């Protein structure tokens, strides 16, 4: 998990065109801005055509199409969010249909189960992703590394991503789609309106998951606009299949 903090405001995207101009509305994506790689996520989302909001209060969640929970320190994020009840508010919006993308620490906070949760005891998390994770499962800061991954099912060319004090996904259930593997473990997963990764795609400039997330957010926003019920699929079945391969692989 990265200890990097945003040191300045991310580039702001321009507003959509005026009413009647025919310009498509930009997706409005929040980035939880308590700690971690906030600026890097915002910059990437802006480059992909989104308007971004630095989210620090529950009321800022109401007008969002999606939310990114960035990498950083899961314990620091949970502690800073606690006085405002921010993480339960994220869960409420998730259950109401908002898409959420968590990287590294964000994956931990979205996980239903954490194998070594002692440091987070007594603090709210978001939950909703039916996986078990282990904090710092790929090693401490000095053991951080980059790896080249394929991310399915689009079969785009492999690209490098950064594992920085990254969590390991130890198990999933049948309702969780595994998008990428590394070393025999899932490292990118999707379940319903949740997308999550063990690594930091924003650090190496890999926008594959961010593009996928913007599609998810647009779909959720369209469903809400049409008044259709949007429900988060939470599986409680048997653990999903494990990769038969070592190293990175595509599913």
Q: Which of 41, 73, 185, 200 is catalytic?
A: 200
Per the annotation, the verdict on 185 as an active-site residue is no
User: Of 40, 73, 150, 202, which one is the catalytic site residue?
Assistant: 202
Given 40, 73, 104, 185, which residue is catalytic? 104
In angstroms, how far is CA 8 from the centroid of its own chain?
A: 22
| CA 137 vs CA 4, 112, 115: distances in Å | 19, 17, 10
| Distance of alpha carbon 108 from alpha carbon 199, whole angstroms | 11
Rounded Cα gap, residues 174 and 101, in angstroms: 20
- Crossing angle for the helix pair 86-95 and 74-81, to the nearest 10 degrees: 90
Per the annotation, the verdict on 226 as an active-site residue is no
Contact 99, 223 (CB under 8 A): no
Torsion of CA 168, 170, 172, 176, to 10 degrees: 10
Q: Is 200 a catalytic residue?
A: yes
> Looking at the annotation, which residues are catalytic?
104, 200, 202
């Amino acid at each position: 998990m990265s200890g990097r903090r945003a040191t300045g405001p991310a580039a702001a995207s321009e507003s959509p065109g005026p009413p009647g101009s025919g310009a498509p509305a930009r997706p409005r994506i929040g980035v939880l801005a308590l700690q971690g790689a906030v600026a890097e996520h915002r910059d990437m989302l802006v480059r992909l055509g989104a308007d971004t909001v630095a989210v620090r209060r529950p009321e800022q969640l109401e007008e969002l199409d999606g939310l990114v929970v960035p990498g950083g320190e899961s314990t620091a994020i949970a502690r800073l969010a606690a006085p405002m009840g921010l993480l339960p508010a994220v869960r409420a919006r998730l259950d109401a249909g908002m898409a959420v993308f968590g990287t590294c620490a964000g994956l931990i906070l979205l996980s239903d189960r954490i194998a070594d949760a002692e440091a987070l005891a007594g603090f709210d998390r978001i939950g909703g992703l039916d996986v078990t994770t282990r904090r710092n499962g790929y090693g401490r800061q000095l053991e951080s590394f980059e790896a080249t991954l394929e991310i399915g099912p689009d079969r785009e060319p492999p690209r490098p991503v950064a594992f920085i004090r990254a969590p390991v996904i130890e198990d999933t259930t049948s309702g969780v789609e595994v998008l990428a593997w590394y070393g025999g473990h899932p490292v990118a997963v999707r379940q319903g309106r949740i997308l999550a990764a063990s690594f930091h795609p924003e650090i190496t400039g890999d926008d594959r998951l961010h593009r996928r997330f913007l599609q998810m957010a647009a779909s959720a926003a369209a469903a809400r606009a049409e008044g259709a019920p949007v429900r988060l699929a939470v599986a409680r079945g048997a653990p999903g299949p494990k990769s038969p391969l070592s190293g990175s692989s595509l599913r």
